[in-house]
Amino acid sequence: MSVSAQSYLPAPSLYTKAHNDSIAQIVESFGSEDFVNANKGFIGGYDKEGKIVKANKLPEEKDWNYWKTKIPENINPSLWHYIHVNGPAGLFEVLPNQIYQVRGLDIGSVTFVKTNTGYVVIDVTTNEEAAAAAYQLFTHFVGKHPVKAVIYTHSHGDHYAGIQGILKSQPDNGAGIPIIAPSKFFESAIGENVIAGAPMGRRATYQFGTFLNDDADGYSLTSRHGDLIPATQELTEDEQTVKIDGVDFDFLQTPNTEAVSATIVYIPKYKALCQADEVIHTMHNLLTPRGAKIRDGLAWSKYLDRALAKWGKEVQVSFGQHQWPVWGNDKVNELWEKQRDLYRYTHDQTLYFANQGYTPSEIANTIKLPKSLQDYTANREYYGKLSFNARSQYQLYFGFFDGVPANIDPLTPTEEGKEWVEAIGGVEQAL
**90-95 and 42-46 beta bridge pairing:** antiparallel
Q: What is the pLDDT of residues 390-409, one digit of tens each?
A: 999 999 999 988 888 988 99
* β-bridge mates for residue 52, sequence order: 46
pLDDT value for 181: 97
Q: How many CB atoms lie within 10 A of CB 378?
A: 20
Residue 5 has pLDDT above 60, yes or no: no
Closest CA to 134 of 111, 158, 168: 111
- The whole-number average pLDDT for the span 300-311 is 98
Residue 213 has pLDDT above 80, yes or no: no
Tell me the HSE value of 20 on the side-chain side, using a 13 A CA sphere: 17
Cα→Cα distances 98→115, 326, 385, 398, Å: 8, 16, 36, 47
pLDDT value for 292: 83
- Cα radius of gyration rounded to whole Å, the chain: 23
- The whole-number average pLDDT for the span 99-117 is 95
Q: How far apart are CA 359 and CA 363, in angstroms?
A: 6
Q: How far apart are CA 126 and CA 96, in angstroms?
A: 27
Q: How far apart are CA 325 and CA 281, in angstroms?
A: 9
Q: What is the pLDDT of residues 275-292, one digit of tens each?
A: 999 999 999 999 988 888
Q: What is the pLDDT of residues 147-199, one digit of tens each?
A: 999 999 999 989 999 999 999 999 999 999 999 999 999 999 888 777 877 88
Residue 24 has pLDDT above 50, yes or no: yes
As a whole number, the mean pLDDT across the chain is 90
Q: How far apart are CA 416 and CA 410, in angstroms?
A: 8
Residue 207 — pLDDT band, cuts 50, 70, 90?
confident
Exposure letters 360-372 (e unless 16+ CB within 10 A, then b)? beebbeebebeee
% of residues, the chain, pLDDT over 90: 68
Q: How far apart are CA 110 and CA 322, in angstroms?
A: 9
| pTM score of the predicted model | 0.90
Q: How far apart are CA 118 and CA 69, in angstroms?
A: 44
